[in-house]
Amino acid sequence: MANLEVDFLGMHFPNPFMLASGPPTRTAAMIRRAFDAGWGGAVTKTILFQPSPDRRPRLKAHRNEGRNIGMENIEVLSQLSVEQWQNDLAEIKAACPERPVWASLGASEKSEWIRLTEMIQETGIDALELNVSCPHGMPGRGMGAFIGQNAELTGQVVAWVKGVAKIPVIVKLTPNVTDIAFVAKAAQNSGADGLCASNSVASLNGIDLDTLDPTPSVGGFSIYGGYSGPGIKPIALRCVAKIAKATGLPVSGLGGIDEWADTVEFFAVGAVTVQVCTTVMWRGYGFINDLKAGLNGYLDKKGYPDIRSILGVALPKIVDFPSLPLTWRVQARVDESCNGCLKCVTSCNDAGFQAIRGTKGKKVTIDSDKCDGCGLCEMVCPLNSITMVAL
């Protein structure tokens, strides 16, 4: 069996799978239950002075053909007091000393950041995760993405916290910026020990067709919220790749992890640990069993002894456009499983190169003189009968 243990800024993790800051880490009792289930580490729900009350409802799914592909939330930060968290964190660390616990912190003023850091680090937790990335609710109070969307302010906050921190400081960044690498570098220049990406993507979930109210509807009103879950994975992967490349700092990666295979992709772009929020909300703490079994099976099958073997391996292969070889050619090939549904014919006719012909119920044919190798037919084929083959 491959070795799933990882080290992150001197912290030893029995496995790289962490619960992200959010509803699954709302209380100490919940975090302890997650550790019993096998999670390698956890980040608390964001701790702050003067919590804002939550609104109801605050969660709404984005569905496609009956399946949840993402979720918008308008939830704010922890409802528990800093003093309550002080007790709870000390209790978790006493009960589970071998599982790294990161406290997520949120504040606006310098004095608050410093006092919060001092009060929370006393509890014996392993690291601080600075939430400068929450897209809703908090920016109006000078917190969350209000900070993370401003590189200078981000650097300032990191410097304040680093001035008093005795444990590693990890900065959780927002994808809702023009260049996340620029903000990551500002955090690094101010002394950040590690980075985390990404928080949720700013969104408007939808409009109810009966009432024309925005959703989730709080008595007919809503706000722009944070989109999470499987739909944001490509955005989050890009964030992790960009900040890992730009800074070389250790990164904890998250955003849209929905199965073990997603975690391999995050490791390959430089994440040392990975975090999950939405999928745990949908499937519970038992999701850890799928993650561990799937990753173990993959590493064993590929002959990798540990996670280090795949860390950042994809990064040098992410290049700029002119570096993509113009001589590399592929074309579509169709196999015997094609049932002649003609979806590929429609797409190729109306958005491709009119290279596929066929009659309903019979295997289609591809004209290699016309096929440009764009890849559209492969994605619309419901039976995976079409593959792009190198010439």
Ligand X SMILES: Cc1cc2nc3c(=O)[nH]c(=O)nc-3n(C[C@H](O)[C@H](O)[C@H](O)COP(=O)(O)O)c2cc1C
The residues assigned a catalytic role are 134
Q: Is 186 exposed, middle or buried (0-12, 13-18, 19+ CB in 10 A)?
A: buried
Q: Which of 111, 115, 150 is nearest to 132 (CA)?
A: 150
- Residue 120 as a binder of ligand X (CB under 6 A): the answer is no
Residue 99 or 172: the one with the smaller Cβ distance to ligand X is: 172
**Shortest distance (Å) from residue 209 CB to ligand X:** 24
Q: What angle do CA 335, 337, 341 make, to 5 degrees?
A: 105
- Scan residues 28-47 and list those touching ligand X (CB under 6 A): 45-46
324, two tokens: 């993509």
CA distance 90 to 364: 65
Closer residue to ligand X, CB minimum distance, 193 or 352:
193
Residues 350-389, interacting with ligand X (CB under 6 A): none
Q: Least distance (Å) from ligand X to the CB of residue 68?
A: 12
The count of chain residues that interact with ligand X, using the rule CB under 6 A, is 25
Q: Which of residues 306-345 bind ligand X (CB under 6 A)?
A: none
- Residues in region 132-171 near ligand X by CB under 6 A: 134
Choosing from 23, 51, 294, 373, the residue that interacts with ligand X (CB under 6 A) is 23
Answer for which of 108, 117, 131, 215 binds ligand X (CB under 6 A) is 131
Please identify which residue in the block is written with the tokens 């209000």.
146
d(CA 312, CA 285): 27
Binding test (CB under 6 A) with ligand X, winner from 100, 175, 250, 256: 256
Q: Which of 151, 165, 232, 243 binds ligand X (CB under 6 A)?
A: 232
Of residues 130, 102, 128, the one with CA closest to residue 40: 102
In the complex, the smallest distance separating the C-beta of residue 367 from ligand X, rounded to whole angstroms, is: 42
Q: By CB under 6 A, name the one of 22, 41, 139, 253 that touches ligand X.
A: 22
Q: Give the binding range for ligand X (CB under 6 A) out of 112-120, 175-183, 248-256, 346-354.
A: 248-256
| Cβ atoms within 10 Å of 295's Cβ, excluding its own | 23
Nearer to ligand X, 202 or 388 (CB): 202
H or E element that contains 42:
strand 41-43
Using CB under 6 A as the binding rule, whether residue 278 contacts ligand X is answered as yes
In sequence order, the 6+-apart residues with CB closer than 8 A to the CB of 114 are: 160, 161, 163, 164
CA dist., res. 221 & res. 307, Å (int): 46
Confirm or reject binding of residue 107 to ligand X (CB under 6 A).
no
